[in-house]
Amino acid sequence: MENKKSIHRISKMICLPVLAAGAFIAITATGCSDKEVKTLPDFVEQTMQLVWSDEFDNDGPVNPDSWEYKTGAGGWGNNEVQNYTKEEANSYCSDGTLKICAVRNGHKWTSARLVTQYHQTFKYGYIEFRAKIPTQNGTWPALWMMPERSKYGTWPRSGEIDVMEFATATWGDKAYGTIHCRNGYGGNTLSSVGVPVSKPDKKWHTYAVDWQEDHISWYYDGELLTTYKNPYLEKDNWMSWPFDQEFHIIMNLAMGGTLGGDIDKKLEKAVMEVDYVRVYQK
């Protein structure tokens, strides 16, 4: 899916990165707030164009032309405790950002899981999120991608691309990027990398993947973390590389579960705030 309309927002794009000695250094121009600072790798600006984004500039629910709600409880295969809803208490846009809120109601938790399935799907590109994420024990925010159709079979056979997962109870201050496929999934993946994040609940950071035909690379604040290469196996390459199909985008805030761990007993609410989601393609 490619929507070639120009959707750069001047207020969010006015601060541009300055590159020196191969490092990505973001500076703030006069009048720019912290939320407007942007870090984008040089190769993206030089070789790609923005084909789709959501800047969350509206107030109220997310744009129904781009997003669906995945609702329900049952643990989602990871022993999570939240019930995903489409209620405004769990997800809404205001002041130029999306808030995904996990809320405790007595002994139960509600939250939101938003997907672009059936609306916006992509095959290859630089997919970037800018977000603040919760760090309380028990929270498990994630920005990730799943196949639009399961060509190679059910999970993990058709693949999963995790752009960012953060679980204080499991990883401390590290955010992780991971892939799952038939030949490596769960706790035995073919590629998974963590990076310490400075005050992720207080500061804006970008989390991204450069997904192309021959590789998937993870980026944090514009800097390369690691690369997983298409092995081009002579037989059954899909087992290690099912990433040749259309994928859709997912944003959610889980509670508890295998990575979220024990929830802080004093916690009443947790929030993941997303400034934008942007997709660049060649």
Catalytically active residues, by annotation: 160, 165
**Cis previous bond, 134, omega within 30:** no
Q: Give the whole-angstrom CA distance, residue 252 versus residue 232.
A: 32
CB burial of residue 267 (10 Å; 0-12, 13-18, 19+): middle
Give Dmax over CA atoms of the chain in angstroms: 56
Kindly give, in sequence order, each residue whose CB lies less than 8 Å from that of residue 13, ignoring residues fewer than 6 positions away: 38
Using only the alpha carbons of the chain, give its radius of gyration. 18
Residue 111's SS3 state is: strand
Measured CA to CA in angstroms, residue 154 lies from 19, 149, 150, 180, 199 at distances of 43, 9, 6, 12, 36
**Which residue has 């800047």 as its token pair?**
55
Could you please report the per-residue DSSP string of 209-257?
EEEETTEEEEEETTEEEEEEE----SS-GGGT---SS-EEEEEEEEEBH
